[in-house]
Amino acid sequence: MMEQTTNHALKEWSIAINALESGETIMLLRKGGIHEKGGRFRVAHHQVLLYPTYEHQQTFMLKADYSNLVIPVTSGWRPQGVKITSYAQITHILPVTDDSIINALLPFHIWNQHFIHDRQDWKPLEPLFVLLLRTYKLPTPQLVAYHPHYGGCKSWIDLHESISLAAATPAIPENTYSELVAQICQITGDSSYISPNK
């Protein structure tokens, strides 16, 4: 059964969260942050708040439609508060190592080839994890006070407060999401479904 509140959050570039919320993508690509436990990427929770980050967004790693939407911040910048506007169910976790498959997925996300090559070159023996997310927009944005624990190169954080998920609305209809998932899984050859109840 889906939880009605959570404090578990997935950190991601603000521009990527905007794309998830607007239904422009359902995909994130991960190899994990530097401070991941054991040095490897793992999905800690399948129902997560989407926590926007700004300091590591790189315009040269984004497709043209997205690069000019990035708001730059200075080195060492930290927000006083972070606005949480959505959560997601991670429905599929697809590890990919084949370059041809990774390239075939290019139309389904917001990043460009430079980003792909950068991720492939870092820990080249590790797979690139394709996450498929069913995103839901919260009825009211929630402002969370920044805490140093939230910083650093890590994918997962637990907020000091829980946020209600009640009355959130899906970014795209279920049938549209299912169609996109089917197209992506046909490319990857893997349809491993992760139950939201786990």
Q: Which of 51-60, 73-82, 121-130, 149-158 has the lowest mean pLDDT?
A: 73-82
Q: So what's the pLDDT on residue 73?
A: 81
Length of the chain counted residue by residue: 198
Confidence of residue 198 (pLDDT cuts 50, 70, 90): very low
Query: Which residues, 6+ apart, have CB-to-CB distance to 152 below 8 Å?
Result: 33, 34, 35
Tokens for 126? Answer: 């590790």
Instruction: Give dist(CA 131, CA 181) in Å, integer.
Output: 10
- Check pLDDT > 90 for residue 194: no
Q: Which helix (H) or strand (E) holds 93?
A: strand 81-96
- Check pLDDT > 70 for residue 94: yes
pTM above 0.95, yes or no: no
Closest CA to 151 of 54, 86, 69, 60: 54
Q: Which CATH number fits domain 5-188: 1.10.1040.10, 3.10.129.10, 2.30.130.30, 2.40.30.170?
A: 2.30.130.30
Confidence of residue 10 (pLDDT cuts 50, 70, 90): very high
- Provide the pairing of β-strand 5-13 with 47-53: parallel
Name the H helices within 9-70. Answer: 14-21, 64-67
5 bridge partner residues: 164
Give CA 24 to chain center in angstroms: 13
C-alpha distances (whole Å) from 123 to each of 8, 152, 170 are 26, 19, 35
Confidence of residue 35 (pLDDT cuts 50, 70, 90): low
Task: Find the largest Cα–Cα distance for the chain.
Answer: 43
Q: So what's the pLDDT on residue 160?
A: 95
Q: Which of 46-50, 112-116, 131-135 has the lowest mean pLDDT?
A: 112-116
- Check pLDDT > 70 for residue 64: yes
Q: What is the mean pLDDT of the chain?
A: 89
Tokens for 139? Answer: 């009825």
Instruction: Give dist(CA 82, CA 78) in Å, integer.
Output: 10
pLDDT in tens, 129-169: 999 999 999 999 999 999 988 988 788 999 999 999 999 99
